[in-house]
Amino acid sequence: MGFILLLLVILLILGIISLKKIMKPLSIQETLLIIVYVLSFGLFAIGMMLHDKQYTDAIDPIDNCYIPFGGKHIISLIVYFVGYHVAAISIWIKGRKLPPLTLVLMLILLMIGLFLNLLVLVQVLGHNTQSIDMYKGNDGAFLFVFTPLVSLVIGILLIVKILKEEHTAAKSRTFKNVFLQTCNSYLAQKFDETIWAVILLFPAFIVITLVLILFGQDYNSLVKVFTDTTTWTFSQKMHPPVLDHRGHYLCTVAAKGDPRIVKPLKIGQRHGKPIIVNRQLQIANAFEELIKDISSPGHQFIRHQYDRYGYNLSLKINTGRASNITYRLMRPLEWFFLVTLYLFCVDPEAKIKKQYSS
């Protein structure tokens, strides 16, 4: 959560600074791209809230999953994240009007950022959750995809913008400062700023890495930030065994309510453990199965929220009277589930009756 808040604060600051400096109206394309990018960060934040545990932590898969970025090495990623956006905003606003050395530095940060965005995209595209109980497939990873993808598009468009501008612009500029004028003349005579950025890319990367080492980062933090993880594309670590799942809070209703009201039907099995099952529980679980058949990502999100709040509710259902009240309050929702099953299932009763079979 702290990582998410830090990213949002950084984005807010960069956004305010850039808006203050914009002197020209935005085009429709620029406006749409900004809106899409901001919305993608919203999805990214949701993804981080659902995937916030390091590989060393044992998790209940319903509550959360593993983060795609590793430990303390996230700091290096944040530094380049900030540098990339400073460079993108600077080039977007000023373009070749930037001083030559500044433009070269911004292009270097932009190129490094493009490479890291590509790595982030590859990292989040592969999410192998087979080792995590109750998870199948690449659930939830789509929340992370849009931010690096849109960021890549923005970076490429900015580089194209620089390449398309007149090459004579740098040659015709003059600076009162003798040092800047000398640098400008030398750069203009040899190569343009884009070529110098490519030439100086590796030396600049080494300098930034040395500075990060002074602040406690490893020399290979940009490798470890992807590999010191579990279940993702570049992951090299294994997570501990998962925790026991808390269960369906309607199980509490069926177990503790008055039999004449909650109408228990049988003893069923949930993760190898016996539970008391009533028709309300069967219908709710059959509806959940239907949602999963229609949309696995949607099911995972709904299930996550349901279990998080349902478990807290189950702690409060600790008497027969509370179970009876909850059962009655759930009846309208039960009827909605039942109608939906009869609308979309060929044999709804078979789907209902098979739930929690021994």
* 245 pLDDT higher than 70: no
Q: Do 157 and 257 share a domain, yes or no?
A: no
* 161 pLDDT higher than 70: yes
Average pLDDT over residues 276-297: 85
* 10 pLDDT higher than 70: no
Between 241-250, 284-293, 321-330, the lowest mean confidence (pLDDT) is in 241-250
* pLDDT score recorded for residue 52: 83
* pLDDT score recorded for residue 134: 52
Provide the pLDDT confidence category of residue 168 given band limits of 50, 70 and 90: low
Is 236 inside any structural domain? no
Residue range 172-207, pLDDT digits in tens: 556 666 776 666 666 555 556 677 677 777 788 888
Q: Do 159 and 287 share a domain, yes or no?
A: no
Q: Which domain holds residue 288?
A: 249-353
* 139 pLDDT higher than 70: no
Is 240 inside any structural domain? no
Provide the pLDDT confidence category of residue 171 given band limits of 50, 70 and 90: low
* pLDDT score recorded for residue 21: 54
* 234 pLDDT higher than 80: yes
Token pair listed for 7: 């990213």
Average pLDDT over residues 77-92: 89
Q: Do 321 and 213 share a domain, yes or no?
A: no
Q: Do 147 and 255 share a domain, yes or no?
A: no
| Report field, pTM of the whole predicted structure over 0.85 | no
Q: Do 184 and 36 share a domain, yes or no?
A: yes
Is 131 inside any structural domain? yes
Is 235 inside any structural domain? no
CB of 74 closer than 8 Å to CB of 225: yes
Is 244 inside any structural domain? no
Is 30 inside any structural domain? yes
